[in-house]
Amino acid sequence: MGGVISGLAVFAVVIAVGWLLVRTGGVPAGSDTILTRTCFYAATPALLVTTVGNADLATVASPQTVAGLAAETLGVLTAWCVHRYLLRRDVAESVIGALAGGYVNAANLGIPVLILLLGDATAIAPIVLLQMLVLAPVAFAILDKVTYQGQHSRLVTFTAPLRNPLLIGVAVGLLVNVLGIDLAAPLGGLVADSLDALGALAVTVMMLSLGMSLAASSPKVTRCLTITEPRRLPTAPGGAGGADDATDPAAAGAGTEAGAASPDAATAGALEDRSERGVVLWASVAWKLVVVPLMALGIGAALGLRGGDLLVPVTTASLPCAQNVFMYATRYGAAKPLARDCVLITTAGFVPVVLLASALLG
């Protein structure tokens, strides 16, 4: 438990430095984009090559890995059923809701969390493969079918996961491992040293980037967590608000058009819509931070894992919703606020879940 708290403390300090750099003007807002892209295209793939290349593949195919993969798959499927059949969302929004409830931030947070807490990020490689080779293509297939309007190439969409640098890093690492390639041999060790140097950047830079991103996003987090009183719609001319308050054309005509909706009805409709969106959002948040980790706990226990051995699948299952989900929602114009808010809230909320899991299992 002490090691977990120490690792999370380091995690928190580096994130706080990134947050302060933006808040104090040390770096301009938006700097996290450059750092994130640096990690995505260079540092993290290099780290994955060395991590997977040196890993014991028998360990990768362990009950811990099976539990993590099964929990994420089951989490996405059950989240789909909840959004589609219980919350009665349309197909596209149900897909985004399912991903928000199960698709984890494997690179930006998964790698540093596993390294700091468990000392090894090997367990994240199968998760990356599952998400890039199975979950993302299936989601694209469904979203493409229900939203396609001839505005983009289906070939480009379906081959996008294959061009993902993280997937390429895992694939190269697997090739190095299976073929027994010694990366220290070519060019006098230049290849291995270069990969090590780039990979060493990944964890720190990703955490700094996260802090910078949270600094820019903190007002959105506040809005997500705060229930605000809706703006009261103006009354019709001659009402309590007076004609000068009728800035909304629909409300201004409410008193003169027969059968028009009253301000109270419009306010009630706005409240109902907001409440419905809130239920959908918090269902995804609860699925990501509570239900899926419990699934990992149950599946791991059923596979014979006990104590600290359970911490790996529970930790990977507790990782927050990936930013990729917001990118997919934006790409297809489906449930963007849901994806955005779920990413922000689960990123802020996953630490207590990991601490609780560590206290119980560590």
- Backbone angles phi and psi of 25, in degrees to 5: 80, 10
Query: What's residue 316's pLDDT?
Result: 92
d(CA 11, CA 29): 21
pLDDT band at 240 (very low <50, low <70, confident <90, very high): very low
pLDDT tens, residue by residue, 268-300: 555 555 677 789 999 999 999 999 999 999 999
pLDDT band at 217 (very low <50, low <70, confident <90, very high): low
State yes or no: pLDDT of 158 exceeds 60: yes
Residue that is written with structure tokens 């090997």 in the block: 122
Query: What's residue 71's pLDDT?
Result: 96
**Architecture category of domain 1-149+157-224+276-361 in CATH:** Up-down Bundle (1.20)
pLDDT band at 313 (very low <50, low <70, confident <90, very high): very high
Query: What's residue 17's pLDDT?
Result: 93
What is the arithmetic mean of pLDDT over 157-173?
Answer: 79
The answer to which of 86-95, 181-190, 254-263, 281-290 has the lowest mean pLDDT is 254-263
Length of the chain: 362
**Residue 97 near residue 86, CB atoms below 8 Å:** no
Angle at 134 between CA 133 and CA 139, to 5 degrees: 115
What is the arithmetic mean of pLDDT over 342-352?
Answer: 87
d(CA 73, CA 277): 25
Nearest alpha carbon to residue 349 among 273, 267, 277, 288: 288
CA gyration radius, the chain = 23
CA 251 to chain centre: 40
Instruction: Give me the chain's average pLDDT, please.
Output: 79
State yes or no: pLDDT of 70 exceeds 90: yes
pLDDT tens, residue by residue, 96-139: 999 999 999 887 788 888 887 777 778 888 898 898 888 988 88
Helices (H), the chain: 2-23, 31-38, 44-53, 57-60, 63-81, 91-102, 111-118, 124-130, 136-147, 154-159, 165-179, 190-225, 249-252, 263-286, 292-302, 311-318, 323-332, 336-361
Nearest alpha carbon to residue 120 among 185, 64, 190, 195: 64
State yes or no: pLDDT of 8 exceeds 80: no
State yes or no: pLDDT of 252 exceeds 70: no
Of the CA atoms within 13 Å of residue 325, those in its CB half-sphere come to 33
pLDDT band at 87 (very low <50, low <70, confident <90, very high): very high
pLDDT > 70 fraction of the chain, expressed in percent and rounded: 77
pLDDT band at 258 (very low <50, low <70, confident <90, very high): very low
Question: What single letter denotes the amino acid at residue 20?
Answer: L
pLDDT band at 162 (very low <50, low <70, confident <90, very high): confident
d(CA 358, CA 362): 5
State yes or no: pLDDT of 265 exceeds 60: no
Nearest alpha carbon to residue 217 among 288, 111, 323: 323
pLDDT band at 218 (very low <50, low <70, confident <90, very high): low
pLDDT band at 161 (very low <50, low <70, confident <90, very high): low
Query: What's residue 343's pLDDT?
Result: 87
- Backbone angles phi and psi of 89, in degrees to 5: -85, 160
**Residue 99 near residue 141, CB atoms below 8 Å:** no
Query: What's residue 150's pLDDT?
Result: 53
d(CA 255, CA 236): 5
Query: What's residue 12's pLDDT?
Result: 79
Query: What's residue 185's pLDDT?
Result: 82
Which tops the pLDDT comparison, 179 or 9?
A: 179
